[in-house]
Structure 1
């Protein structure tokens, strides 16, 4: 099965990847212990609006992005 790539899909993937990198760098600088209580709320409070506006992501995708980044960060730390 071949999936056609459209400009909007490629833009979404690029924006998601940039946002994911941004969140990972933010986590590295601001969250020394990703297992502490309230980290997800802190990340949401600090980054949700910024991810949505600067990276042009929908609400659900922005939430998935910072949750994915937090999961990756927990695996690295």
Structure 2
């Protein structure tokens, strides 16, 4: 038996992906690897533009900091550096 997801689930996943990608991009561009700097850059935008509850917005920028730190610490990992 095949079960399809609820109609709201794909939309939620798209919002999650878009908000997380936006957060990572802003953090990397501004080198905002501290929670306070990321909060000042992202909190209101995530709540307003992505229509997120406050706790979820905080979780997103905290996760984005973690991903950004990993990416900044290993800039060539996963990319083809040979041309």
TM over 0.5: yes
Which consecutive residues of structure 1, in runs of 5 or more, have no partner in the other structure?
none
Q: Partner of 1:14 in structure 2?
A: 14
**Normalised by the size of structure 1, how large is the TM-score?**
0.79
Q: Give CA-to-partner distance per residue, 1:33-59, whole Å, 9 cap, x none.
A: x3xxxx211111121110111111121
Moved over 4 A (4+): none
CA contact (8 A) 1:15 1:57 kept: no
SS in structure 1 of the partner of residue 18 of structure 2: helix
Which consecutive residues of structure 2, in runs of 5 or more, have no partner in the other structure?
73-83
SS in structure 1 of the partner of residue 51 of structure 2: coil
| More relative contact order, 1 or 2 (CA 8 Å, 6+ apart) | 1
Instruction: Give the superposed CA RMSD.
Output: 1.8
Residue 38 (structure 2) pairs with residue 43 (structure 1): yes
By percentage of residues, which structure has more helix? Answer: 1
Q: Give CA-to-partner distance per residue, 1:4-32, whole Å, 9 cap, x none.
A: 52222222211111011101111121017
**Normalised by the size of structure 2, how large is the TM-score?**
0.74
